A and B are shown apart, each in its own frame.
Chain A
């Protein structure tokens, strides 16, 4: 088993919560893992990316080679497109449909979404909307993780354990909220992909 995942977003959107959850799940499965992150200047509202690699064999490079990623998980639609050179031919593009506009020249959202839809394996999900209905927009990242989960070769039960562990200190309410977010994202993905 080997999955190379690009996680994308804008500094401050908390993409690392997705990486941490998958990382925790990989540990549960005793897989090897390497995860590179962006710290420093780019965190100030710039584009940020994490290379997450999990495998049952030794992983060498911290960086995924171009054209070899199995999946792009993005919390922002324009950011999902920035990493297309990383994605393999049959890879999956899974992205939030809600734009994060902190630049003056953000393109027409419709044009961005059209580009996403051109991609044969894509999931375009209104994660913010689903999270808001659940009662906390903060769980949007876990909704997106849920949408990516059918293509990740990590059993749902393992992701559930990971979420339980990660949010343990925040109480049962937060755990339940995130488990619901995971389930709704997954459900959407299975229905719409």
Chain B
């Protein structure tokens, strides 16, 4: 298949039956996440692996609930964490099948070991790593730009500007992953992940059959083999740059007014076009695939007096173009203050950067109050925190280390119950470190799913060093914040904690309900008095999943 045909919606391809034709012609209204999911299913995906994380969750959810995927026997797996998901995908690629692993940007930090090394092993079956970044931190702890990871791993990176392009890039991504035997990254941001638009489908492909790598030592990263593999990866760099030159995902749009030259990465393209519509006067390089071809950059740089770089994320291309010494033509973007250094782009920011008129409606009236997210009414976490807060009145403030999940919302009023939230699992290990510093007892508060994601090893540290840490595992039977995906911890918590070595006498289960408030506080007090690691498990189902379950039950009757 020629590269260019990926750019069109090849609706008539291999389609004879008129009924099927109709299906192909009908555009589907899909989120960016769903477009990637459907693209993968149609491109012959055999398995998707993921840990839920906004804004990436809907990719795996779509495949999980897709009838077509089910008929085709596609595996849709929620994994214990992003690292196990990444490694499962490498395993499926080893076995010759097309596979995708999906995560939010900070999930890639967890998966980084496997991810970076997967570029050294290379792929066998097509391997796509989808990472959804969250500039403006709508639902995250930072706004790191995953393209830097892609560059670090020296693999092709795709940055779609639309839902359709996202769909098409999955097809193309699988093809070049197999052609060059290397993983590829698709990087999206929240705005595309969670925005719907019409998407047309391409012809469906069969799944690959089981086929091991020709060289059965390809995936053995012993130094002698890794050195050879790494040299291959280095040699491939010019090849993947040439690919980015010809694939059609990088486009050079001519313009008569050479006073400015524009570089638009991913969805930044939309914001520029929003401002100019069909009348863009300046030459523009639209970047959808990295490494960015030097030839295209050279042309824009030579042709134009000044360069404006628009990236929804960190200034990756801008920094590259500018270099440390910045000796060339003026280059404008996030680094020189033309755009804010932080936050997602929007049409207005782009307009102002290019000297166009800004627009704004009326100011927000003073009467409007802030409405931050909060724990749901009836949430078990509230009752757990009320008990903990009351018991901790007898201690000095600032000893509650928490984690990533709905329960992080307890940092805000009215509960104001926690003092930290850093990364998945950090509650237990930070409490452990603080206890070593003398802050005893130190309290850790972590959710059930977060505990099996990255909390178990930290608990092991506490047990090995007999640390005076009280670990609250808030067990609501689900991964709540991301919409109720299954929790790997379900039914296993006491066994895990005992297995890790916590004295069973200090594994206490309570039911967080106001009617049990006194009893719960008594148990918490007892454990706080014990000089050693304890686990307290407040256990009650998430009110949202309970509600959903009851409605299903009612419906089926």
Contact = CB atoms under 8 A, between A and B. Distances in A.
A binds B: yes
B360 A44 contact: no
Contacts of A10: 371
A159 to B, nearest CB: 16
Nearest to A100: B371
B496 interface: no
Given A37-B195, A47-B371, A102-B371, A60 B409 contact: no
A65 B362 contact: no
A45 interface: yes
A23 interface: yes
A86 B270 contact: no
A89 B362 CA distance: 8
Contacts of B482: 40
Interface string B330-362: 000000000000000011100100000011111
A35 B482 CA distance: 20
Interface in B363-394: 363-365, 367-377
A105 B369 contact: yes
A162 interface: no
Nearest to A64: B347
Interface string B37-51: 000000000000000
B347 A61 contact: yes
B373 to A, nearest CB: 3
A112 interface: yes
Interface stretch (B52-60, B147-155, B178-186, B461-469): B52-60
Nearest to A116: B365
A103 B369 contact: yes
B159 to A, nearest CB: 15
A44 B414 contact: no
A56 interface: no
B191 interface: yes
A87 interface: yes
A67 to B, nearest CB: 4
B422 interface: no
Contact of B364 (A41, A59, A64, A84): A84
A30 to B, nearest CB: 9
A78 B367 CA distance: 8
A46 B374 contact: yes
A104 interface: yes
Contact of A36 (B139, B195, B269): B195
A118 to B, nearest CB: 8
A38 B373 contact: no
Contacts of B358: 66
B197 interface: yes
B481 A63 contact: no
B433 interface: no
B267 interface: yes
B9 to A, nearest CB: 14
Contact of B359 (A11, A67, A82, A111): A67
A86 B347 CA distance: 12
B361 A60 contact: no
Contact of B196 (A11, A35, A61, A66): A35
Interface residues of B, number: 52
B141 to A, nearest CB: 11
A67 B351 CA distance: 13
Given A39-B57, A40-B138, A65-B348, A11 B369 contact: no
B406 interface: yes
Given A33-B29, A65-B347, A112 B367 contact: yes
B281 interface: no
B365 A81 contact: yes
B194 interface: yes
Interface in B56-73: 57-58
Interface string B268-302: 01110110010000000000000000000000000
A70 B194 CA distance: 22
Given A63-B346, A106-B369, A85 B364 contact: yes
A40 B56 CA distance: 10
B104 to A, nearest CB: 9
Interface in A60-102: 60-69, 78-79, 81-82, 84-89, 91, 102
Interface in B182-219: 191-192, 194-198
Interface in A13-60: 23, 27, 32-47, 51, 59-60
Contacts of B369: 78, 103, 105-107
Nearest to B58: A39
A46 B138 CA distance: 12
Contacts of A108: 367
A34 B364 contact: no
Contacts of A91: 361
A41 B361 contact: no
Interface in B393-428: 406, 409, 413-414
A115 interface: yes
Given A41-B54, A41-B138, A106-B369, A33 B198 contact: yes
Contacts of B360: 66-67, 85
B123 to A, nearest CB: 30
A38 B271 contact: no
A140 to B, nearest CB: 19
A46 B372 CA distance: 5
Contact of A39 (B194, B270, B347): B194
B213 to A, nearest CB: 38
Contacts of B413: 104
Contacts of B483: 39
A61 B271 contact: yes
A85 B362 contact: yes
Contact of B365 (A33, A46, A67, A115): A115
8 contacts: A34-B195, A35-B196, A41-B139, A44-B374, A44-B409, A66-B361, A78-B371, A104-B413
Given A36-B195, A40-B481, A60-B277, 18 more contacts: A33-B198, A35-B195, A35-B196, A36-B191, A36-B194, A41-B409, A47-B371, A61-B273, A61-B346, A62-B195, A67-B359, A81-B367, A84-B361, A84-B364, A84-B365, A85-B360, A85-B361, A111-B367
Per CB-CB distance, the 7 closest pairs between chain A and chain B, nearest first, are A40-B54, A40-B139, A46-B373, A67-B359, A61-B274, A36-B195, A60-B273
